[in-house]
Chain A
Amino acid sequence: DAKTTQPPSMDCAEGRAANLPCNHSTISGNEYVYWYRQIHSQGPQYIIHGLKNNETNEMASLIITEDRKSSTLILPHATLRDTAVYYCIVRVDAAGNKLTFGGGTRVLVKP
């Protein structure tokens, strides 16, 4: 698996965009970038994933650099409920997968 590197923590202001970086310089051509988050005392929640192109859904946007060595998850208008640990994972989409969650980024949205 390609290893990912995320900052351990970051703060952002309520109502502002939150930009969460992830480095994955050893990513392979067939590996996707996945983002999950875990709100305190809950199970992780899938947010978004992408291969090469930028992706957007109702929760967030995913920007992947052209060389695919890094990506950014964007929460366009952060709310207090977005306070969570955010995990960036790189993996192929194949049977028998073992999805590994690293340390993630602890995001605190402040009023």
Chain B
Amino acid sequence: DVKVTQSSRYLVKRTGEKVFLECVQDMDHENMFWYRQDPGLGLRLIYFSYDVKMKEKGDIPEGYSVSREKKERFSLILESASTNQTSMYLCASSLPGGSGANVLTFGAGSRLTVL
């Protein structure tokens, strides 16, 4: 019954490495989101997409990019990982506006450690 799948549950990378976090949803949702969660800071929105090849910056896009080539897949890219990007990354998806845009289904999360 898994609906939003994040490719890696735990990753350890080195400073300067390029990191790809993959997210796939099987609910045919238009909207997809990437958040990061840090102790004391809560969930913060990095990027979101409301259609294939469309992307919008969230509240903290610096140091990240995204790719949405197919409706079901939304990738988060760290071009050059830094230690301050050590965090839990959460992917989510939802229907378009007017039909449940704010009912998000989240993945289990990807815990990234940058050394």
Answer yes or no: do A and B interact: yes
Spell out A's residues near B (CB within 8 Å): 32, 34, 36, 41-46, 49, 89, 91, 93-104
Task: Contacts A44-B104, A98-B58 known; list 20 others, CB within 8 Å.
Answer: A42-B108, A43-B106, A43-B107, A43-B108, A43-B109, A44-B106, A49-B102, A49-B103, A93-B99, A94-B101, A95-B97, A96-B50, A96-B56, A98-B48, A98-B56, A99-B45, A99-B104, A101-B35, A101-B42, A101-B43
**Cross-interface CB contact of B109 among A34, A42, A46, A97, cutoff 8 Å:** A42
CB atoms of B103 and A46 under 8 A apart: yes
Q: Which B residues lie within 8 Å of A94 (CB)? A: 97-98, 101
The answer for the CA separation of A71 and B107 in the assembled complex, in Å, is 27
**Cross-interface CB contact of B101 among A41, A46, A97, A102, cutoff 8 Å:** A97
The answer for the CA separation of A32 and B98 in the assembled complex, in Å, is 11
Given A43-B108, A89-B102: A95 touches B58 (CB 8 Å cut-off): no
CB atoms of B106 and A45 under 8 A apart: yes
Q: Which A residues lie within 8 Å of B105 (CB)? A: 46
Q: Which A residues lie within 8 Å of B92 (CB)? A: 43-44
